[in-house]
Amino acid sequence: MGRLDHLAEQYPDIPARALLKAHLLFEGVRFNDTVGEAGGWALPSFQPYSPTEEERAAGLPASVPIPYLMVLAGGELVRLKCDPESPYEVVTDGETRQLLLDGEPVEAVTFQPRPRWSEGTTADGRSMANVGLSQHGDMLVINAAPGCEFFTERDAAGRSLHCSFCAYGRPDRRTRDLGQRIGRGRILPESLDRVVETTLAALPEVRHIYLVAGSLADSRQEGQRYLQLTEALEAAGVELPITAGPSALCREDTKALKEAGAAAVSYNLEVWGRDLFAAVCPGKERFIGYEMWRSRLVDAVEVMGRGNVLTAMVAGIEVDHPAGFTSVDEALDSAEAGAEWLLSHGIAPVYSLHWSTRHATYGHVSSPAFDYFLRLNERVDRLRRRHHAAVPGHIVCRACAYMQLDPDLCATREVG
């Protein structure tokens, strides 16, 4: 029996397509010429591959660009990682690329190419690839102010207040190049013009838009930034659904976003449980607070309507983090209780894989990460069925979710 058949027996409630995607997320693929060649034309990964000693001795440099996303035969996206121990490999077969598992063909796959719009130039001569936009499948992500103030804010002991799983929001050269200044909410007019111009160029390639940025200590100012972006896109005639992903905003600011034309909001709670939230997201706890975050999510459902409020959760951090659970079953029970509360309040939770989770010992507990991720998804999917709640496809869908299984399970249910 092959590995995938064996997994299908172990997880009968996870559809075969979702199982393959999850397995690839955890196992990755072996680096080879096909992956190396794709690194030259595909959307690049933020984490280049670091070849093994043997591979370097055979002529590879210390760091090799690799694609960010693999596209499976059913259109599913998977974040790519290269692992010399993986049982998977992608090989070139004439005009196509074949995914192999233990040397046997699984299906034809490809990698997401660099978007066409990213080859363009703005009216003021800036490369459209460098104005704060990226594309994941059919989702355009606009992040014109990536630097997060939680990296620069400190607690009494001098520790940074950024979320423990996040490296993305660290203020760096990207932040400076985009003209972002820490402490200022609004985006500079010239940066906003570039964002709008590039979005218009990207419209033929995308189906929905997600606005994100680094957090501000003052969430009212943060609300102004999202309002400014939403108004500018609407004024330019953008008709695709726009989801705003700031810190949990107060009711008044959520209302302003809706009136400006935002279709949905995503106020990402990240973890369930007050103590864990405070440990994993100290900035969110300090400047909004766990109870206030939940209360604003409930307010947002009243303002935006059911099906238009999402919260991203980091699946696995409740067992990976030192402040998390020592028992896997307790962690699952807690995460499930969180999903029950969220769904019963009309909020859609979506579970992104904690990317560090791979057959390792995390602090105080050895985490069976793959099994945990699948069992969590099974439990949440059962709850969704009970609540007759679908994953809102205008916010996150099978054609853009590369670290989550939620739309894969949900889509299967809708057609089944």
Residues that bind ligand SF4 (CB under 6 A): 148, 150, 162-163, 166, 168-169, 214-215, 283
3-state SS, 16-29, equals: HHHHHHHHHHHHCE
Closest residue to ligand SF4, based on beta-carbon distance: 169
Terminal-residue alpha carbon distance, the chain: 26
Instruction: Please state the closest distance from residue 246 (CB atom) to ligand SF4, in A.
Output: 9
Q: In sequence order, what are the residues at sequence separation of 6 or more whose Cβ sits closer than 8 angstroms to the Cβ of residue 387? A: 343, 344
317, two tokens: 């951090």
Q: What angle do CA 377, 27, 40 make, to 5 degrees?
A: 115
Least distance in angstroms from the C-beta of 150 to ligand SF4: 5
Residue 214 burial (10 A CB sphere; 0-12, 13-18, 19+): buried
Smaller CB separation from ligand SF4, 136 or 162: 162
The residues near 311 (Cβ < 8 Å, ≥ 6 apart) are: 266, 267, 268, 269, 297, 342, 347, 348, 349, 350
Work out how close the CB of 344 gets to ligand SF4 at its nearest, in angstroms, rounded to a whole number: 25
> Could you tell me the smallest distance in angstroms from the CB atom of residue 147 to ligand SF4?
9
In the bound state with ligand SF4, the residue whose beta carbon lies nearer, of 270 and 406, is: 270
Using the minimum distance from each CB to ligand SF4, give the nearer residue, 51 or 273.
273
CB of 354 to ligand SF4, least distance (A): 12
The 10 Å Cβ neighbour count of residue 206 is 22
Q: How far is the CB of 106 from ligand SF4 (least distance, A)?
A: 34
Which residue, 82 or 161, is less far from ligand SF4 as judged by CB? 161
145 vs 202 by CB, closer to ligand SF4: 145
Comparison of 45 and 175: residue with beta carbon closer to ligand SF4 = 175
